[in-house]
Amino acid sequence: MRQNIVITGASSGLGRGMAIEFAKMGRNLALCARRTDRLASLKEELLVINPKITVIIEALDVNDHDAVFTVFQAFKQELGHIDRVIVNAGMGKGASIGTGYFQANKQTAVTNFVSALAQCEAAVEIFRAQNSGHLVTVSSISAVRGFRRALNVYAATKAALSSLSEGLRLDLLNTPIKVTTLHPGFIQSEINEKVKNVPFMVDTETGCKAMVKAIEKEGANSYVPTWPWAFLQFLLRIAPLSSLKKMS
């Protein structure tokens, strides 16, 4: 059982939701995010859910890459052993390329890929030293194909993260270190709260329960919730561009 779990971007959305589900399961949690006031409130909530668990919180902006290594090592020192790291922190800013929003697109690109790389580096460094661990990367169903407008760069970063995770999985094949990539479909969270009329959208709790269930199975790639995304991902791969344009 993976008892000691690190979750980045844990102050809201899917990170917060996963923390709640793991607390119910009796897991110790090391949580980090920029918004420490929210982390403090979440810690209180988790200890009400399960007073027997350990909950550690640390401020972390994942775009401060040196700080990623420092915080992960601090978690390791305090817990003694890290069993699982969930690379969850991300953002969804962006607009069509060439429309004057390079800074927003760049911020999403750095946060969702370069900073995810820093988290993977810091986690796997610890796992290699321990000779055990489970790395979970939170990608997206949008990683399957390119998307347009506001999702253009976001989808590209998630595709890059999925590819990075696959390479890591190959690198760590036949070792005690496992790598799981989650591809969530449309789950309500702060990152998409302004998006309307999205098909197959589920609430945060339902989505996070599906994510945690998939994480516990420790498979290579999971599309969650399983219905309809495990099926739709195959259709997305072969859909003509005209169909994709209507969807995004």
Q: Over 60: is that where the pLDDT of 58 sits? A: yes
End-to-end, the C-alpha distance of the chain in Å comes to: 39
Interatomic CA distance for residues 208 and 224, integer angstroms:
9
Interatomic CA distance for residues 9 and 81, integer angstroms:
20
> Cis omega before residue 199 (within 30°)?
no
Work out how many domains the chain is built from and give that number.
1
How does the average pLDDT of the chain come out, rounded? Answer: 93
Point out the least confidently predicted range of 121-125, 160-164, 185-189, 213-217. Answer: 185-189
Say if CB 10 and CB 56 are below 8 A apart.
no
Q: What residues are labeled active site?
A: 154
Supply angle C-alpha 35, 140, 195, rounded to 5.
70
Q: What is the DSSP string of 184-214?
A: E-SB-SGGGTT--S-TT-B-HHHHHHHHHHH
Q: Residue 150 belongs to what domain range?
A: 4-247
The two tokens of residue 234 are 């195959």
Q: Over 60: is that where the pLDDT of 192 sits? A: no
Interatomic CA distance for residues 180 and 85, integer angstroms:
10
Signed CA dihedral, 36, 39, 43, 44: sign only: positive
CATH of the domain at 112: 3.40.50.720
**pLDDT tens sequence across 1-25:** 999 999 999 999 999 999 999 999 9
CA 65, distance to chain mean position in Å, is: 17
- Count Cβ atoms below 10 Å from residue 227 Cβ, excluding itself: 12
Residues with Cβ within 8 Å of residue 81, at least 6 apart in sequence? 4, 130
**pLDDT tens sequence across 103-148:** 999 999 999 999 999 999 999 999 999 999 999 999 999 999 888 8
Mean pLDDT calculated for residue range 155-182: 97
Q: How confident is the model at residue 191 (pLDDT cuts 50, 70, 90)?
A: low
Per-residue model confidence (pLDDT) at position 189: 75
Q: What is the DSSP string of 105-168?
A: HHHHHIIIIIHHHHHHHHHHHHHHHHT-EEEEEE--GGGSS---GGGHHHHHHHHHHHHHHHHH
Q: Over 90: is that where the pLDDT of 90 sits? A: yes
Say if CB 173 and CB 125 are below 8 A apart.
no
